[in-house]
Every structure is written in C-alpha cells, then in structure tokens.
Amino acid sequence: MDTFVVPQAGAGLDAFFNAQGIAIIGASDDITKIGGRPIHFLLKYGYKGQIYPVNPRGGEIQGLPAYASISELPAAPDMAIIAVPAAAAVKAMLECAAIGVRGVVVLSSGFAEAGPDGAVLQAELVSIARRHGMRLLGPNCLGTISVAQGVIGSFSIILEQSMPPAGHVGIVSQSGNIGSFAVQNIARRGLGISHFIATGNEADIDVADGIAALAEDAQTRLILCCMETCRDADRLTRALDLACKKNKPVVVLKIGSTEQGQAAAASHTGALAGSDAVIDAVFRRYGALRVNAIEELLDVAHAAALLLPAGLPKGNRITLLAASGGFGIMMADATVKAGLALTELAPQTKEKILQILPLAGTNNPVDATAQVSARPDVLQGTLAALMEDTHTDVTQIFLSLSLYNTRLRGVYMKALKDIRYRYPDRLLVVTSQGPADAVREINDLGIPVFPGIDATARGLAALVRMGQLSALPESTSYRGLVEALDSDAFRNEYTAKEALAAAGITVPREAVVTSADAAAAQATLTGFPVVLKIVSQDIAHKTEIGGVLLNLADEVAVRSAYEQIMQAAAKHAPEARLDGVLVSPMLSGGNELIMGVSRDPVFGPVVMVGSGGIYAEILQDVAVQAAPVSEKEALAMIRSLKLFPLLDGARGRKKADVLAAAQALTRLSEFACRHAADVAEIDMNPVLVRPEGEGIVVLDALLIPRRADSTSE
C-alpha cells in the first residue's frame, strides 16, 4: 500500500481558484451533460484562460477544438475536470499527472459511495494524486466556482441563469446541494461570493482544506461551512485556528451527529459526553460559530457580512425600539430567551426621547408610539438618542410590514439614511418584512434586516457570539510523553484511584480488605464513620446491586455491612470476580461533580465535567472539550454548568474550591492524553469539591481499557 505525506490543509488550492487553463475530460457538445456543462459555463461567463475539451472523437466541441487525449494538449492546464465513468477515471488521472496538471476535479460518481469496488478506484485516484503532488477534489462532487476569476469546475444548476456576484463570502460544503443552496440564497440577498467548493467524497481535499484556503484568500472575509462529519480532527482544528488568526469568521452548519465509535456501556461519562457536544466544544475553542439550521446560516452570514466593515457587536446589550407596546414585549421576550441582555437606558437618553415624544415609554423596550411613523424627524431624533447611548451594543428597530406602505417606507428610509450617515460605527438592525428592493435599500446602508422577531433575536445572539469568539492563545495539543498504563489500573476502583493519584489527583486514604474482622480493624484506623464498597472488575455500578453502604459508625456496623455487601454481590453478580471490600472515610461537606474522559472516534480523548452523584445522567448538566484542557479552559467549563451558582456561594453557601476542581480536570485531561493508547473511558463520580482552600477528593473512580469488552450490569 502506498504511503505518502498528506498535504497541509489548504495547500495547492490555488490551482482551482486561479486556474490558468482548464481541461475537461469527457467533454460533450450536450450542455445538459456533466461533461458539457462546465464548458458551456466557462464560455458563457467569459473565462479568460484556455479551455481544452478532451474527447476521444476529437473534432470540435461547443465551438472549441477538441483533443483526443490529454497528452495532445499544447500546454499543461492548472486544472482538469474529469467527467468520465468511474472505471475510466483512473486512466484519466494518470494522464493528468503525466503532463503536470496541478489540480483535478472528479465530478463522476461510482466511487467509495457506491461500495467496495468503487472504494478501490477512489484509493487509486488518491495514490496517483499523492505520488505526483496533485490535489484532488471529489470524487462525486459538485466541484468549484471562483467568481471574480471566472474559474468554473462545476455542473451546478445555479449557474444556468446567472453567475453569483463577486464578493467576500467563501463557501465550502461537503454536500453539493446544500452548498449550492447557500450560494443562491447569499446571492439573492445581495452579497457576493469569492469561492465555492463542494468536497464530495473528500478522498483528498476536505472541508479543512477549504477553510484553510479561504482563510489565506485575500478576497474572502467571511467563511461559511456546511459540514456533515469531520474525518481528521487535527486538520480541521488547524484550519479553524488559522481562520481565526486571520480574522476570517467561520460560520458552520453542522448537520447530524457523529456516531460514537465505541459503545459507552460501563460509565456515566460515556453516556454524557456525546460526540455532537464534542464538536460544539471544538468549534468554540477554535473560534468558529456553529448554527443549527440553513436559515440561521443565511441570516447570520448576511448580517455579519453587512456589519463586518464596522465591526461585530462588542457585547450582548440590546436596546429595542417599536411603535407598539405589544410588539415591544414580544421583542423583549425573544431577546432574553436568546441569552441577550436588555440594557438600562442612561437618564439623559430617556430625557432626550421625552423631549421629542412626551408620551413615549422610555424603559427598554422603548415604546415610541405611532408618532414615529408620521415624521422622519421624530424617528431620527429618537434613534439618535439611542445611538448616542454608550450603554448599548446594538439597537433593534421593529418596522412590522411598514415597508409595504409607500408613505411609511419614505419616512423610515429617510430616518435610517440620516442615522447611518451620522453614526456609521453604531450597530443598528431592523426587524421587518417588505419588498425586496426596500430590504436591499436598507442593506445597502450596512443595516441588516431580519424577517421576524425570533429570527432577529437568534441572529443577534449568533452575531454577539461571533464577536466574542477567539482562538486560545495557548496550545491545546498534548506535547508530553505517551506512555503505557499498567493493566492493573483497570482492575477495580482501588487500583484506578492509585493510578489517578499518581497523576496528582486527590483520592481518599483507603484500603481493600477480605474479611469482616479486617474491615473493622481498618475502619478503626481510618476513623469513623466509614464507607464500605464492593471491589470487583466485573461490577461497574456498585450501588445498583447493594454493593455500597454509607455512614458506618462503629465496628459492629462495619462487620455487619461487610457480610451484607458480600451477600448482595453473590446474589446479584454471582459470576463476578471479587477482590474484597474497600474501606473509605465517610467524607461530606461540599458539592459533588462528575469528571471523566470518553473517547471520540475523531477527536480522541474528551474530558467532561458536570453535576455529579446519582443524578448525573438525569440532570444532563455537562460541559465537554477535547483533551487536553488548560486550567483556564477547565475553569470556563465549570463556570458554564447550571450548578455553578451553588459552587460560587449562592444563598449564603460557602464558596467551593473551584480552582482545585479545575486543576483536577486539567490533570485528568493530561492523564487521558498520556495514556490514550490504553484508556477508553475514565469515570470519577462523585468528585467532592470542598469549601474554598480545602481542595477536592475523588470518592469513586472507574477506568475502562480500550478494546475491552466492558458491559454494564
């Protein structure tokens, strides 16, 4: 099997963006066929480079001289489009390599998506590309379009009527149809496209390549990504980090959920750390904004593209303006539900508004009454007062359906133009529906228009998140040693805790005993009260079989508890291998967290923290991130939990030692990376977080080996 270095993400895509010659292999006179459409589009939209139709029949195709084979071309084109059946594509690829083609788009289907035989053909294409330093887009893809350059390597129907306008939005999509839908709708909203890339089967070029190339592209200011799955975590995170460092916001529509590569049967951690939550966390870490619907992608992209020249919101403080108290209340509800804040207007702002509109409501939302619809100067004065208020980050005005009314449209347009001229750096958005030309007129002022109240709130929340996203300054990759973990660590709770303690994570002083007398003696040494727990590599969930007894106050209680636990194990897990009973101090006086590690099939070890104890899976209060995490990230994860106010001293409680918890989470993530080859899951539940300055202690722990056939009871 050939082994070659995989190109760095984004490398070589200039061959597609700025191709100085394009060959179409499988060229056709029929412009409805995939071999005919690219030629038709290149001619229709005035591509300035050389077009080389290739067809064994030679002659002339669409008015251009055709060549019987690639070897007959007078010069090597930068890009070749392969539109022949899959069985013939390998030969075409070899011929491209022989003359020095730099980039190949394989539009044809019948490869890995079609089954094992197709997968073999696809692997051959990749091997040829790697051996000859070519980049391969596809196969089974919609291709690529570079608008300003007129470079087209696509058969998409979006080009039948017109070419999208040239502009600054770059789009990369695994799905050709979703990507082309985004192109069409972005163009319909009056925005321009820099480049469109549909990656198809991603045999070579993937979405990470597209993001990285667009990040380096001078034309592109905003990157939209339509993504079904991630095949290479390192390439994706490097590409996202590059885009963030280049100040190119990335908005990702991630559809579907990556399936867990390994069933998480034995631990709470695996059940809680789902892969979709992991990729969410990765996007946040590397400064990308995830959206959950194509409509949200388009709304956010449109608004961001309009606002980027002036800048995205610096914070989440929103001021609402409406001519109706009822609509104002609806706006307020939507704004708060979206996680935004209704700012308190400054006293001087309220005074200015009342001087213009004595009957106006000057709380937020501002009820300007119907008078703002009568005179532009009234609306201008009200908006000016809000624009000058430094307590707000964005002002939202609700126009309902007023743009359909010729008179009202004139009033609002005059006021909006005046405000934009006077306050070019203040952020203003409009909620309204109206004729396309009216919406376009407002957009041309650099003011986004959202079609509804809820859409505006969601869009503003996304824009605020986008404005706050940034890549971490510190490295998030593990650079330490990768070591084997002694297999004995997986044996039971006691040995798991020993391994974690060696990594700097605090565990209780405890011992395993094999008789009631030994249990009583150990309890006396430990100090009462104590906890007894069954110790077995075959019993993951001890409480469920009666294998844990708490708050044992004397030797008599301990002896009785020992016998009770052994009987419960014999009854409920008769085949289990028993190592004895663990005697631990009965600790209390703090808050319980769960901490753990699971293994994502793409991102590897994933660390999680959440509400702990027996309610961990019920509450689903969890934060996750790909390992390792820094102390700063660990603190942010803990602070994101719903229970954090309890840790932070809510209602007179003592503040918990959150810093110690964050340090433990960081050490756990490093432990997982150090032993990534051996560890599938780690479950520390509960972790007792003591009052500030007193640290944490892991009360129970479970390590599950990779490739082990572990099942829960």
Query: Residues 638-650: what's their mean pLDDT?
Result: 91
Beta strands, E only, 77-134: 79-82, 103-106
Element containing residue 408 per DSSP (H, E): helix 406-422
Phi, psi of 223 (to 5 degrees): -115, 125
Could you read off the pLDDT of 599-637 as tens digits, one per residue? 988 899 999 999 886 666 677 789 999 999 999 999 999
Helix pair angle (406-422, 376-387), 10° resolution: 30
Q: Please choose, from the candidates 492, 528, 526, 490, the residue with its C-alpha nearest in 3D space to the C-alpha of residue 511.
A: 526
Phi, psi of 538 (to 5 degrees): -105, -5
Could you read off the pLDDT of 222-273 as tens digits, one per residue? 999 999 888 889 999 999 999 998 989 999 998 875 444 333 333 444 444 4
Q: What is the pLDDT confidence band of residue 7, given thresholds at 50, 70 and 90?
A: confident
Query: Over 90: is that where the pLDDT of 102 sits?
Result: yes
What integer pLDDT is reported at residue 614 of this predicted model? 65
Hunting for tokens 């290739």 — which residue is that?
Answer: 54
Answer whether 243's CB lies under 8 Å from 250's CB. yes
Cα three-residue angle 461-465-467, rounded to 5 degrees: 115
Could you read off the pLDDT of 13-61 as tens digits, one per residue? 999 999 999 999 999 999 999 999 999 999 999 999 999 999 999 999 9
The rounded percent of the chain whose pLDDT value lies above 70 is: 94
Tokens at 570, concatenated: 């014999």
Phi, psi of 186 (to 5 degrees): -65, -40
Which residues, 6 or more positions from 74, have their beta carbon under 8 angstroms from its beta carbon?
Answer: none
Answer whether 396's CB lies under 8 Å from 338's CB. no
Comma-separated ranges of CATH 3.40.50.720 domains in the chain: 14-256
Answer whether 86's CB lies under 8 Å from 139's CB. yes
Q: How many CA atoms lie within 13 A of 373 on its CB side?
A: 17
What b-and-e string marks burial along 198-221, b requiring 16 or more CB atoms within 10 Å of the CB? Answer: bbbbbbbbbbbbbbbbbbebebbb
What integer pLDDT is reported at residue 311 of this predicted model? 81
Query: Over 80: is that where the pLDDT of 204 sits?
Result: yes
CATH class of 591-705: alpha beta
Comma-separated ranges of CATH 3.30.1490.20 domains in the chain: 509-585
Element containing residue 183 per DSSP (H, E): helix 176-188
Rounded to an integer, what distance in angstroms lies between the CA atom of residue 6 and that of residue 130?
Answer: 7
Hunting for tokens 């000058």 — which residue is that?
Answer: 388
Answer whether 24's CB lies under 8 Å from 54's CB. yes
What integer pLDDT is reported at residue 433 of this predicted model? 92
Which of 134-148, 201-215, 646-660 shows the lowest mean pLDDT across its residues?
A: 646-660
317-322 and 394-400 beta bridge pairing: parallel
Query: Residues 453-474: what's their mean pLDDT?
Result: 82
What integer pLDDT is reported at residue 427 of this predicted model? 92
Phi, psi of 117 (to 5 degrees): -65, -40
Other CB atoms closer than 10 Å to residue 404's CB: what's the count? 13
Phi, psi of 659 (to 5 degrees): -60, -45
What integer pLDDT is reported at residue 661 of this predicted model? 97
Say whether 301 sits in a helix, a strand or coil: helix
The rounded percent of the chain whose pLDDT value lies above 90 is: 73
Query: Over 70: is that where the pLDDT of 387 sits?
Result: yes
Q: What is the pLDDT confidence band of residue 707, given thresholds at 50, 70 and 90?
A: confident
Q: Please choose, from the candidates 199, 147, 154, 139, the residue with its C-alpha nearest in 3D space to the C-alpha of residue 170.
A: 147
Q: Which CATH superfamily is domain 305-468 in?
A: Succinyl-CoA synthetase domains (3.40.50.261)
Comma-separated ranges of CATH 3.30.470.20 domains in the chain: 591-705
CATH of domain 509-585: 3.30.1490.20
Rounded to an integer, what distance in angstroms lies between the CA atom of residue 96 and that of residue 162?
Answer: 30
Q: Please choose, from the candidates 299, 281, 301, 187, the residue with its C-alpha nearest in 3D space to the C-alpha of residue 240.
A: 281
Beta strands, E only, 515-614: 530-535, 548-552, 580-585, 591-600, 604-611
Query: Over 90: is that where the pLDDT of 318 sits?
Result: yes
The number of angstroms, rounded, from the C-alpha of 174 to the middle of its chain's C-alpha atoms is 15
Cα three-residue angle 71-73-79, rounded to 5 degrees: 95
Query: Over 70: is that where the pLDDT of 157 sits?
Result: yes
Answer whether 457's CB lies under 8 Å from 431's CB. no
Quote the mean pLDDT of the chain.
Answer: 90
Residue 605 CA: distances (Å) to CA of 163, 170, 567, 683: 45, 32, 38, 13
More confident residue, 506 or 258: 506
User: pTM (2 decimals)?
Assistant: 0.88
Phi, psi of 244 (to 5 degrees): -65, -45
Hunting for tokens 């990230």 — which residue is that?
Answer: 633
Query: Over 80: is that where the pLDDT of 371 sits?
Result: no
More confident residue, 77 or 277: 77
Query: Residues 525-541: what's their mean pLDDT?
Result: 93
Phi, psi of 429 (to 5 degrees): -130, 155
Query: Residues 332-338: what's their mean pLDDT?
Result: 95
Query: Residues 358-362: what's their mean pLDDT?
Result: 82
Phi, psi of 691 (to 5 degrees): -60, 160
Q: What is the pLDDT confidence band of residue 3, given thresholds at 50, 70 and 90?
A: low
Query: Residues 117-141: what's their mean pLDDT?
Result: 96
Query: Over 90: is that where the pLDDT of 471 sits?
Result: no
Which residues, 6 or more positions from 520, have their beta carbon under 8 angstroms from its beta carbon?
Answer: 555, 558, 559, 562
Q: Please choose, from the candidates 376, 402, 392, the residue with its C-alpha nearest in 3D space to the C-alpha of residue 428.
A: 392
Integer-rounded Cα Rg, in Å, for the chain is 31
CATH of domain 14-256: 3.40.50.720
Answer whether 390's CB lies under 8 Å from 312's CB. no
Beta strands, E only, 376-460: 394-400, 428-432, 449-450
